[in-house]
Amino acid sequence: MKKKREATRQDGSTAVRSRVLSKLAVLAGVVGSFFGFVTNLYSSEFRDAIESSANGLDAAIFRTLLAVVVSSVSTAMAYWFVIRRRQQPSVKRGEIEIQPDALDVVSSDQDAVVGRSLKYLEAKRSSDELLIFMSGLGLDAGDFQLYMAESKLHCIALTLYGFNVEERSDDRYEPISLESHVELVLYALQKIREKNNGKRITLVGFSYGADILLFLAQFAARQMKNLRIDKVLLLDPNVSRSTMTISSRVAQVQLDQPLEQLHKVLESAASVEEFRNLCEYLYKITAKNFAQVLRQAHDVVAMWPDDTHDVFLDRLGKLMAVTADVRVVVSFNYQAIFNRVARGVTSRGLNIGLLECAQNDHFDLIGTTFLKNRLEGMT
């Protein structure tokens, strides 16, 4: 169902672009017509000047030629702009090979990752701003593809190790620990920074992806600071065990008999819209290496020991210490606990302005319109 909604959004975006292009074409025609009219006004002078002038260009010819040149150039530029607008940058797949130097950051001796790769999507642009996206638990870079195709900024969306559909049955991508996932993200960010050294980088994490960014500051504060991250946007990070409704229920799924627990995940929906989103979410994650998803669900739930917000605030403070600007947007689903989180931020001397409670549901935070409003307003 969400695919149908995404198609509707795409159709709407296409319609908007078509209207804009039509207006630009009309503008081009008006500009060309205007200067053509000017040329016609001087056509008699042009003929008279050719017939009578034997001493080179006089003022009449100069005015006529100027009108012709301006008309041609203006029309050409207007149509060039129309064509330029039609040429949307493509979103391309890429990969970062995990070389032996990854062991400088990956601390586990049990997680074999060298020789594999991390996949990503990229929409290259000449912008000085680079957005790097991290997706939710069991999801992948494709969740940001619609926004990336329309954004005016350079965009890269990472997929965590082993979470691509094509890696589902690949024995080389066995489940690894949460800490190794975080360290591999750090490795990928280092490689991306090397290739984009002059750009200002904004990290965007959604749900579990936002948690990953918090864990980066916890596990690798020094290396994180060396990345020189300009901004971080956390979209619905977990703030306590109470916010882990989906992750905690996924963690209870039995790999050999998953249906009962998967049904319970659907039962957590508070609205028909949320039910549809959860149906699509479960459809996506069950198409992946589900053992990898379960391992991460277990590990991330263990990172939030209780229902207090102290651990979240500790991690938020560490992230703010190693990045220039951190903002947190929580969905409407968080409204019941937002006030307590906000008071905790204030009590720790942090800027209350970094928090926002949006009037959107959880999965709406990665919608194209929402991302465009937040991200292109930040830069």
Name the one residue in this structure whose structure tokens are 């009219």: 37
Would you tell me how many other CB atoms lie within 10 Å of the CB of residue 331?
19
pLDDT tier at 1, thresholds 50, 70, 90: very low
Q: Give me the mean pLDDT over the 20-43 stretch.
A: 46
- Give yes or no for a contact between 134 and 212, defined as CB atoms under 8 angstroms apart: yes
Q: pLDDT for 208-229, tens place per residue?
A: 999 999 999 999 989 999 999 9
Those residues with Cβ within 8 angstroms of residue 13's Cβ, 6 or more apart along the chain or in another chain: 150, 368
Q: What pLDDT, on the 0 to 100 scale, is given for residue 334? A: 87
Would you tell me how many other CB atoms lie within 10 Å of the CB of residue 29?
13
Q: What pLDDT, on the 0 to 100 scale, is given for residue 89? A: 57
Q: What pLDDT, on the 0 to 100 scale, is given for residue 167? A: 94
Residue 60 has pLDDT above 60, yes or no: no
- Give yes or no for a contact between 355 and 328, defined as CB atoms under 8 angstroms apart: yes
Name the one residue in this structure whose structure tokens are 């606990």: 337
What is the three-state SS of the chain? Answer: CHHHHHHHHHHHHHHHHHHHHHHHHHHHHHHHHHHHHHHHHCHHHHHHHHHHCCCCCCHHHHHHHHHHHHHHHHHHHHHHHHHHHHCCCCCEEEEEECCHHHHHCCCCCCCCCCCCEEEEEEECCCCCEEEEEECCCCCCHHHHHHHHHHCCCEEEEECCCCCCHHHCCCCCCCCCCHHHHHHHHHHHHHHHHHHCCCCEEEEEEECHHHHHHHHHHHHCHHHHHHCCCCEEEEECCCCCHHHCHHHHHHHCCECCECHHHHHHHHHCCCCHHHHHHHHHHHHHHCCCCHHHHHHHHHHHHHCCCCCCCHHHHHHHHHHHHHCCCEEEEECHHHHHHHHHHHHHHHHCCCCHHHEEECCCCHHHHHCHHHHHHHHHHHC
Residue 74 has pLDDT above 90, yes or no: no
pLDDT tier at 333, thresholds 50, 70, 90: confident
Can you say how many angstroms the Cα of residue 46 is from the centroid of all Cα atoms in its chain? 57
CA distances from 110 to 96, 103, 158, 208 (A): 21, 12, 23, 23
Would you tell me how many other CB atoms lie within 10 Å of the CB of residue 103?
15
Distance CA 163, CA 175 (A): 10
Q: What pLDDT, on the 0 to 100 scale, is given for residue 270? A: 82
Q: What pLDDT, on the 0 to 100 scale, is given for residue 50? A: 45
Distance CA 49, CA 57 (A): 8
Distance CA 182, CA 218 (A): 10
Residue 356 has pLDDT above 70, yes or no: yes
Highest mean pLDDT: which range of 32-46, 172-186, 322-336: 172-186
Nearest alpha carbon to residue 132 among 118, 116, 149, 120: 120
Distance CA 367, CA 374 (A): 11
Q: pLDDT for 265-279, tens place per residue?
A: 898 888 898 899 899
Q: What pLDDT, on the 0 to 100 scale, is given for residue 14? A: 44
Q: Give me the mean pLDDT over the 95-105 stretch.
A: 97
Q: pLDDT for 297-312, tens place per residue?
A: 999 999 999 999 999 9
Q: What pLDDT, on the 0 to 100 scale, is given for residue 183? A: 97
Mean pLDDT of the chain: 82
Distance CA 126, CA 152 (A): 9
Position with higher pLDDT, 31 vs 375 = 375
Distance CA 210, CA 216 (A): 10
Residue 77 has pLDDT above 60, yes or no: no
pLDDT tier at 377, thresholds 50, 70, 90: low
Position with higher pLDDT, 121 vs 14 = 121
Q: Give me the mean pLDDT over the 336-351 stretch.
A: 92
Q: What pLDDT, on the 0 to 100 scale, is given for residue 256? A: 86
Q: Give me the mean pLDDT over the 129-149 stretch.
A: 96
Residue 359 carries which side chain, given as an amino acid letter? Q
Q: 154-158 and 117-123 as β-strands: parallel, antiparallel, unpaired?
A: antiparallel
CA distances from 284 to 168, 259, 288 (A): 12, 15, 7
